[in-house]
Structure 1
Amino acid sequence: MDASFYARIGGQPAVTAAVDALYRVVLADDRLVDYFDGSDLDHLKSHMVALLSQVLGGPAEYSGRDLRGAHFGLGIVPEHYDLVGAYLIGVLAGLGVDDEVLTAVRGVLAASAADVVE
């Protein structure tokens, strides 16, 4: 692989578009919206853009809390974690991201579940 996944999907503009689309579907889902009550959505989106960029091999600019610290106490159940992951994969696929990248993102989601789910 010559270019990072980040470069292959279109860099910052593509990651930002994916995060915006992800939050649109997540916040429209009655099963998930309560997790975001009282949250600063712009702040969350900026952290998600930085984290997803880093995961995809882009700039390592994520400076937020670790996943466990950021999600501790939210009571996230496995079904909801999986649902958000499925939305993310769907958004990325809808933006034309190739299967190799989607497989890598699925792997990160699987590896991160224990840090997010309670």
Structure 2
Amino acid sequence: MDASFYVRLGGQAAVTTAVDALYRVVLADERLSDYFQGLDLGRLKGHMVALLSQVLGGPAEYTGRDLRGAHLGLGIAPEHYDVVGAYLIGVLAGLGADDEVLAAVRGVLRESAADVVE
């Protein structure tokens, strides 16, 4: 059996690096930074590491709210969701994720959009 995408990417260390890099570019983007004002970024990053790990076939340790509940009322525009998704794909590609991993993440982004975008 093939290794999970999580293992192929490099496990916990790689996912943590990816999430840190993702938030660096997202918070530097003036179109997106307002969404994160007043939030506990450490906690948010922890949730994102757990969620991304699970999505990639790693440990199922995400204990946060469901995506819809976590994003309800934030007014996230479709174009902003797409920008964050593009940043995530770019970060993962930069870490050496192969085309199969990137295609799987794109699929999850497509499936999750309705729960995040308002």
Scaled to the shorter chain, the TM-score interval is over 0.9
Structure 1, residues 36-78: CA drift from partner, whole Å, max 9, x if none? 0000000000000000000000000000000000000000000
- 2:85 maps to amino acid: G
Structure 2 CA distance for aligned equivalents of residues 64 and 45 of structure 1: 11
**Where does 1:51-62 land on structure 2 (aligned, <5 Å)?**
51-62=51-62
Structure 2 CA distance for aligned equivalents of residues 77 and 97 of structure 1: 27
Structure 2 CA distance for aligned equivalents of residues 51 and 101 of structure 1: 15
Structure 1 vs Structure 2 CA RMSD: 0.5
Tell whether 2:13 aligns with 1:17.
Answer: no
Structure 2 CA distance for aligned equivalents of residues 94 and 2 of structure 1: 22
Unpaired runs of 5+ residues, structure 2, are: none
Unpaired runs of 5+ residues, structure 1, are: none
Provide TM-score, normalisation by structure 2: 0.99
**Shift of residue 85, structure 1, vs aligned partner:** 0.1
Q: What is residue 87 of structure 2 aligned with on the other side?
A: 87
- 2:87 maps to amino acid: Y
Provide TM-score, normalisation by structure 1: 0.99
Q: How many aligned residue pairs are there? A: 118
Q: What is residue 73 of structure 1 aligned with on the other side?
A: 73
Structure 2 CA distance for aligned equivalents of residues 21 and 41 of structure 1: 13
Structure 1 CA distance for aligned equivalents of residues 64 and 116 of structure 2: 14
Could you list the runs of 4 or more consecutive aligned residues of structure 1 that deviate by over 4 angstroms after TM superposition? none
